[in-house]
Amino acid sequence: MLKLKTLDAFYKIQDCKCDQDKTSDEEKDKGKDKGEIVDDGSKEAIESMLITEKHAIDKDNCSSYAGNYKSYGEVGKPGWFTKDLLKQFFPDLMSNKEIVDHFYTKDGKQYHADNFAITFKCEENTKCGSNINFTWGGPSSMWCNKGGKTGNASLRCPEDFQSDQTSVCCPSTAPYWDYIYSKNFFLNDRCPNLVLDLKGKELEECAGKTIVAKLKSPLIILDYSNKIIDKDGNDTGIYYSYLKPFLNPDGTMKDCGSNAKCQEYAKIIDKILWTSDKEVTLKIPDNSGEKSSYSPSVGNNQDETFSYHDYGNDLI
């Protein structure tokens, strides 16, 4: 069994792994992610990663926004990655090289996600599901409304998906403010971009419970100019703003009547909407709410499973 005596020891191991065959930061990320991106969508509950002080200073892996973990009080809280959700919702998308390659690039060829709405709910304790939020330390072209409130997001997701029982996350309005946003949404598995935004006793009460994530509105892939990319990675030439008025919030087409454009879009709608009926389960660690003397440890299944180490103890 692996024994790590200190938080620094854990990060030294991780840093060593990250520095092997290092070229540019972008090439390093691209190579790492490409080796992990394929997934059959059959994974069970997604374990959390505790956000630590190390995340808050790790600008190499968590980008220049890392300090926001501490500034916004997210250190010590359990977090997750949208990448893990997307692999279960859309295994075909996340293994499509023609599309995935465009999530890495810094230039005008980068793609981003739009239209989606993901809800989070906990049947055991509604506060645990209704307080899932985006992280400022891992910004990712996504805002979340906790418990039906706007909160610190700059917009509201569609009212159809708002509830005091759930949290809902949807696209931001500035996906290309920084290229790292789209990359964090699709590919990041180092620095959480979702967080259980509770503290103290409320966080303790969520320990060991599960949250169910559902896709309530389909995801659409857009290029840098907001044209729709189909499921085969082809540019349809259709601007998302042209299609959106004809879509219901759940992604179904409105009644086109005699509108020729609407009828044209209806013919290709199944080729551009990424949908999923899968319920993805997020697991809250049993030690949620304890003092943040733990660090995430990657086991044999590096992409899915996280456990915790105390500073001076064996693997818990």
* CA dist 293 → 10, 39, 68 (Å): 13, 32, 19
What is the tally of structural domains in the chain?
Answer: 1
Assess if residue 78 is contained within a domain.
yes
Classify residue 269: in a domain, yes or no.
no
Distance CA 190, CA 182 (A): 15
Range of the domain at 17: 7-219+274-310
Closest CA to 166 of 151, 152, 150, 146: 146
Query: What pTM was computed for the model?
Result: 0.80
pLDDT at 101 over 90: yes
Q: Establish if 161 belongs to a structural domain.
A: yes
pLDDT tens for each residue of 125-144: 999 999 999 999 999 989 99
Cα–Cα distance, 213 to 224 (Å, whole number): 28
Residue 1 included in any domain: no
| Domain assignment present for 81 | yes
Which H/E stretch holds residue 211?
Answer: strand 210-217
Contact, 295 vs 8, CB < 8 A?
A: no
Q: Does residue 230 sit within a domain?
A: no
- Give burial (CB, 10 Å; 0-12/13-18/19+) of 95: middle
Is 36 inside any structural domain?
yes
Integer Cα distance of 266 and 253 in angstroms: 7
Average pLDDT of span 115-124: 98
Q: Note the pLDDT tens digit of each residue in 177-211.
A: 888 999 999 999 999 999 999 999 999 999 999 99
